[in-house]
Amino acid sequence: MPNIAAVLKEEIARVSRREVRGETEKLKKASAQYRAQIAELKRQVAALQKEVASLAKMNRQAKPVAPEIDGGKIRWSPNRLKAHRERLELSAEKFGKLFNVSGQTVYNWEGGTRPGKEHLAMIAQVRKLSKRQAHAIVEAKA
């Protein structure tokens, strides 16, 4: 006859192994899911880093372009600027208010100094204004 203590001990060990195996299976499944999610996130991070690097490279290679209005480059002529100012019947000081610059700056532009890119874009917009619109803007800024 088998020893009852040995049989009981074996049965307890078997039941406890089964319980532990059941618990660890749940943990193994959760761990596998977490590893898969982590791997996917690492792939996404790598793809984003690659994209950032390519955008930075493109940004370094980009050449500065002249400001454009309606797809064409802005043409510049000191004489045309002066003629337009006179056509609008504005003094250099008032004409400068359209661009947030002084009258002396306008005289410099009319004398041949080339305005900056941001001012060239503004000049292109002012070319489209009528005399009435220009005077209204000057009055609003005064």
- Given a cut of 60, whether residue 142 has pLDDT beyond it is yes
Give backbone dihedrals phi and psi of 73, rounded to 5 degrees, phi first: -75, 150
Q: Which pair of structure tokens corresponds to residue 106? A: 């306008």
- Given a cut of 80, whether residue 61 has pLDDT beyond it is no
Whole-number Cα distances in Å, 131 to 26, 82, 86, 88, 98: 80, 14, 10, 5, 12
How far apart are the C-alpha atoms of 12 and 20, rounded to whole Å? Answer: 12
Tell me which residue of 73, 127, 81 sits closest to 105, measured CA to CA.
81
Domain 68-141 -> CATH class: mainly alpha
- Given a cut of 70, whether residue 71 has pLDDT beyond it is no
- Given a cut of 60, whether residue 48 has pLDDT beyond it is yes
